[in-house]
A and B are shown apart, each in its own frame.
Chain A
Amino acid sequence: MAQIHLEVVTPTGPVISDDVDIVTAPGYGGEFGVLANHAPFLSTIKTGTLSFKKDKQNKFLMVSGGFSEVSNNKITFLVESAEFGHDIDVDRAMLAKERAEKRLAQAMQQSEKINRTRAEAALQRAMARLRTAEQARR
C-alpha cells in the first residue's frame, strides 16, 4: 500500500518521522483523514487526538494548537505539544482536568475573559489527554 510520510514537530523537538498508511487529525472543520498522494493542503489543528496507522496498528498522539501542511506526499504537523497515548500520565491528566474545571468555574463567576479562555484551553488539553490515553489502551 502506498504510504505517506508523517512528521510531527514540536518546540522541544521532532516527535515522529515515519512512513504511514493513513493519518487522521483534528482539523479546523473537524476530523480529516489523509492518505498517500494527497493534494497540497494546509489546515489549522485543534487540541485533540491525532491517529495514524502503520503495519495494521493504530497509534494515537495527543496534539495541541498548531497547523499541518500536506505537500509532496508528506504531512507535517507543527504543534505546540504532542504526546503518545501510551506515554500519557492518566492520573496527572485527571488532576489537571479537575484543576481546570475549578479555574473555569471561578473565571465564569468573575467573568474575566482572559482567565476564562486560559482555563478553557487547559481543560481542553486535559480532556484530549485523557481521551487519547483511553484510545491508546484499547
Chain B
Amino acid sequence: MPGLKDVKNKIQGVKKTSQITKAMNMVASAKLRGAQDKMERFRPYSQKFAAAMSNLSGGMDAGNLPLMEVRSVQAVEIVVVTSDRGLCGSFNSNIISTAEKLMRKYEAEGKKVSIVCIGKKAHQYFRKTGKVRVSFTDIMGTFQMFNAREISMDIAENFMVGESDEVRLVYGKFHSIAVQRPEVEELLPIKPLESEEGTTAEITGAYTYEPEPAEIMEVLLPLYMNVQVYHAMLEVGASEHAARMTAMDNATNACKDMIHDLTQLYNKARQAAITSDLMDIVGGAEALKG
C-alpha cells in the first residue's frame, strides 16, 4: 500500500492538471466562437464569388487560361493545412495521414510529389520526408486574406512554370463542434464550375462584359484560388479549436475519474493506518492490564 503522503501529492497533481485542461477548454471555446464568426463573415463573399464564376465559365473555352490548363500529370503538389499547435486530439494526425496516403498513392503511380505546408504541425511531420517545397507556419492564429493570397500566388507560380501539373488541397473540414474530418480538394487546374441550368444562362446573355469574359476570368481565377485557400484555412482554424475543446473535455473527465479513484485509495490507506494505530493502543492497554 502506497504511503498516505504520496497519494495526497498525486491527487493534488491531478487536480492542477484538470484545472489547466478546464481552462484550455474554455479558451478554445472562446476562440472557436471567433473562428466561426470569421467563417460567417466570409460566407457572403465566397457565395457571390462562386455564383459569378459559374455564370462566367458557362460557355467558355478553358484551354487558353494558364490556371485551367489540363496537362498530363507528372508532378503533383499537395497542400496540407493543419494547425500550428497540438493538444487537439487526433485532428492534425488525421489530416497528415490523409495527406500521406494521397502522397503514397501518387508515388505508386510514378508521379513526383511535392508538399506545401500551411501550419506548423504539417511542417514538423513532412520535413523529414524532404519533399517539402515551402512552408508557412505561425500564421494560423492571426491569418488574414493577404496571407492566403501570398500562399496561393506561390502555388500558382509553381504551377504555371510547370513544376506541378496538379495541385491538391488537404485540410480539416468543420462539420460540427463534435465532427471534423479531413477533406481533399482539387485546387489546380481550376475546373469550370457547373452553372445551374436555365436561370444563369439567360442572364449571361444580357451582360455587358468589360473586358472580354476570357480576360475577366484571367483576373478572377487567381482570386478564386485565394478564396479556396482562405476557406481551407478558416475551416482548419475553426476545426482546431473544436477538436481542442473535445480533447480538453475528455482530459478533464479523465482527471475527475483519476481523482475519484485516488481519493478512494487515500481513504482506504488512511483507514488502514487508523486501524493499525488502534490495534497498537488496544494491544498496549491489554498488556498493561495483564
Contact = CB atoms under 8 A, between A and B. Distances in A.
Given A14-B44, A43-B210, A76-B48, A67 B149 contact: no
Interface in A54-94: 65-67, 69, 71, 76, 78, 80-81
A9 to B, nearest CB: 5
A119 B80 CA distance: 27
A50 to B, nearest CB: 16
B207 A40 contact: yes
B38 to A, nearest CB: 8
Interface in B136-169: 144-145, 149, 153, 157
A78 B42 contact: no
A27 B48 contact: no
B47 to A, nearest CB: 9
A27 B230 CA distance: 25
B15 to A, nearest CB: 42
Contacts of B219: 28, 44, 67
Contacts of A65: 223
Interface in B52-110: 52, 56
B211 A78 contact: no
Interface string B242-279: 00000000000000000000000000000000000000
Residue with the greatest number of chain B CB neighbours at <10 A, chosen from A28, A29, A32, A44: A44
Interface residues of A, number: 27
B49 A28 contact: no
B285 interface: no
B41 A78 contact: no
A12 B48 contact: no
A27 B268 CA distance: 81
Nearest to A10: B45
Nearest to B150: A118
B52 A80 contact: no
A71 B41 contact: no
Interface of B: 38, 41-42, 44-46, 48-49, 52, 56, 144-145, 149, 153, 157, 203, 206-211, 215-216, 219-220, 223, 226-227, 230
Interface of A: 9-14, 27-29, 32, 39-44, 65-67, 69, 71, 76, 78, 80-81, 114, 118
**Closest 8 A-B residue pairs measured CB to CB?**
A13-B41, A43-B210, A44-B219, A11-B145, A41-B208, A40-B207, A40-B206, A9-B45
Given A76-B48, A80-B223, 20 more contacts: A9-B45, A10-B45, A11-B41, A11-B46, A11-B227, A12-B38, A12-B41, A28-B211, A28-B215, A28-B216, A39-B206, A40-B203, A40-B208, A41-B208, A44-B210, A44-B216, A44-B220, A67-B216, A71-B203, A78-B49
